[in-house]
Amino acid sequence: MQRFACDLIIDAAWVLPIAPENRALSAHSVCVTDGRIVALGPTPDVHGAWEARHRVSFEDGILTPGLVNAHTHAAMTLLRGVGEDLPLERWLRDCIWPLENALVNEDFVAAGTELAVAEMLRRGITTFTDMYFFPETTARVARAAGMRAVLAFPVFEGSTAWSRGVEDCFHLGLALHDACRGDPLVEVAFGPHAPYSVSMSTLEKINMYAQELGLGVHIHLHETAHEVAEARRLHGRSWVHVLGDIGLISPQLQAVHMTQLEDDEIRLLANHGASVIHCPNANMKLADGTCPLTRLVANGVNVAIGTDGAAANNSLDVLADARTAALLAKLQAGDPTVAAAPDMLARATLGGARALGREAQLGSVEPGKLADLVVFVPDSPAALPLYDPFAALLHTGSAFSVAASWVAGTQVVHAGQPRLLDETAMHAHVREQAQRVRAHR
């Protein structure tokens, strides 16, 4: 029997396709050609039907779609650990903003993003959404590492290290969008920091451009009880309703944090197809509140997982945040059956892709989709024995390492190491910037 030709066959002990069925497949293989998945099936069947130019086998590996970190401030890895044990307002006002004002430039962003990319690749993340200054620098670093990045260019009313004001934000951000047209790895979105730091007229302008250009809108929203109370004092209603009034609650909205939500606000999000980005570890660390995962899901709202920046979370480990989200949901609901491991892995993959409007291309191991794939392997006694690969990754993820990962069929991690990063140079850049941070603390 004549066999079909493909570029790559990956054999794994388990494949977790996420969709169309979210169940574990034992002893399966994936075929890749021209950067896309062309077949998935039992290993003997695949080997009988396909002939590959290259084949790799992981006899104890768990193959998943590439993880999506749906909210980061990547360069803030350089501020990891500098503002510990503070509430959000003091953390920002007394620690983070003064350091950023003194230190942030293109070199700072390049070094911090290199460090973030190295960390995320080792944790199985192949796509991340970033909101930070000098997004053109983040684009360059992500592209060089072979990662996908959605750059939510920051919009503030005042001047920053990157921009002189709102109009400059639009000018720089839209120029970046033009420069990235057709880029296979980098996309651009609007990143208004928060409704309390951006005027209504600016938000209306963002909505107009977002609708015209088909771009996402990534915004911190309902992060703290104080923020929501201020909205009610100023506007007589919550920020969700304020944004709904100007048309920003839409499928393009990526609402980050959402720790304070009433039932009518959840229904508004659901009715207009908005996504929520859940960052539980950062929210817990800053004592901001808890995103009501089970209520959102029960109403049909898409929920993705983000880590936030390493200055708030200390880690860019999406699996760790997915586990925290699951445990919080079980505790809140008083029901151990909610937020099951397969559902949470779906939120860390397909949920993130859906939030970015890329679910047709990313987030699951399905023929026709881009071959963004990760293989996790046990590297600790805590990973064994392995009966349920979903539960193993979610609840003992730190006991696994990333053996290999691919983005559109190009291998970006081999034997646990990012292939396209010069880590010696990266460490030198990080040491140089860390010295600057120490000098300003």
Same domain, 291 and 338: yes
Distances (CA, A) of 96 to 132, 154, 188, 303: 13, 16, 25, 28
User: Would residue 361 count as lying in a domain?
Assistant: no
Same domain, 110 and 228: yes
Task: List alpha helices for 94-235, DSSP H.
Answer: 97-103, 106-122, 135-145, 166-179, 200-213, 225-235
Query: Residue 130's beta-bridge partner residues?
Result: 72, 151
Average pLDDT over residues 289-305: 98
Q: Which residues 6+ apart lie within 8 Å of 138 measured at CB? A: 74, 75, 109, 113, 130, 132, 149, 151
Q: What would the DSSP string read from start to end of 254-266?
A: EEEE--S--HHHH
Same domain, 189 and 71: yes
Whether 400 contacts 393, CB under 8 Å: yes
Same domain, 33 and 170: no
pLDDT-based confidence at residue 302 (cuts at 50, 70, 90):
very high
Same domain, 84 and 12: no
Q: How far apart are CA 180 and CA 174, in angstroms?
A: 10
Query: Residue 15's beta-bridge partner residues?
Result: 25, 63
Domain count, the chain: 2
Same domain, 345 and 377: no
Cα atoms in the 13 Å half-sphere on the side-chain side of 113: 30
Q: How far apart are CA 66 and CA 202, in angstroms?
A: 35
| Element holding 374 (H helix, E strand) | strand 373-378
Q: CATH number of the domain that 395 lies in?
A: 2.30.40.10
Q: How far apart are CA 32 and CA 367, in angstroms?
A: 9
Q: CATH number of the domain that 248 lies in?
A: 3.20.20.140
User: Would residue 71 count as lying in a domain?
Assistant: yes
Reference 406, options 121, 18, 117, 54; nearest CA is: 121
Same domain, 343 and 389: no
User: Would residue 426 count as lying in a domain?
Assistant: no
Same domain, 243 and 327: yes
Task: Say if pTM beats, i.e. exceeds, 0.85.
Answer: yes
User: Would residue 417 count as lying in a domain?
Assistant: no
Q: How far apart are CA 18 and CA 288, in angstroms?
A: 31
Reference 74, options 287, 307, 348, 421; nearest CA is: 307
Whether 371 contacts 32, CB under 8 Å: yes
Q: How far apart are CA 171 and CA 174, in angstroms?
A: 6
For the stretch 113-144, what's the b/e string if a residue is b when 16 or more beta carbons lie within 10 angstroms of its beta carbon? bbbbbbbbbbbbbbbbbbbbbbbbbbbbbbbe
Same domain, 102 and 250: yes
Check residue 15 and give its pLDDT.
98
Same domain, 18 and 153: no
Note the pLDDT tens digit of each residue in 121-170. Answer: 999 999 999 999 999 999 999 999 999 999 999 999 989 999 999 999 99
Same domain, 334 and 381: no
User: Would residue 429 count as lying in a domain?
Assistant: no
**Can you tell me whether residue 127 is helix, strand or coil?**
strand
Check residue 371 and give its pLDDT.
99
Which residue, chain included where needed, has tokens 């779906």? 346
Check residue 30 and give its pLDDT.
98
Q: Sheet holding 50-65: strands in order across?
A: 36-42, 25-33, 4-15, 50-65, 373-378, 400-407, 410-414, 417-418
| Element holding 321 (H helix, E strand) | helix 318-333
**Max intra-chain CA distance, the chain:** 73
User: Would residue 431 count as lying in a domain?
Assistant: no
User: Would residue 257 count as lying in a domain?
Assistant: yes
Query: Domain range for residue 340?
Result: 67-355
Note the pLDDT tens digit of each residue in 173-232. Answer: 999 999 999 999 999 999 999 999 999 999 999 999 999 999 999 999 999 999 999 999
Mean pLDDT of the chain: 97
User: Would residue 427 count as lying in a domain?
Assistant: no
Note the pLDDT tens digit of each residue in 377-435. Answer: 999 999 999 999 999 999 999 999 999 999 999 999 999 999 999 999 999 999 999 99
| Element holding 436 (H helix, E strand) | helix 423-440
Strand boundaries in 16-105, DSSP class E: 25-33, 36-42, 50-65, 67-72
Check residue 1 and give its pLDDT.
66
Q: How far apart are CA 418 and CA 223, in angstroms?
A: 34
**Pairing between β-strand 36-42 and β-strand 275-278 as defined by DSSP bridges:** unpaired
Q: Which of 321, 355, 389 is the last residue before a domain boundary? A: 355
Note the pLDDT tens digit of each residue in 253-286. Answer: 999 999 999 999 999 999 999 999 999 999 999 9
Same domain, 331 and 401: no
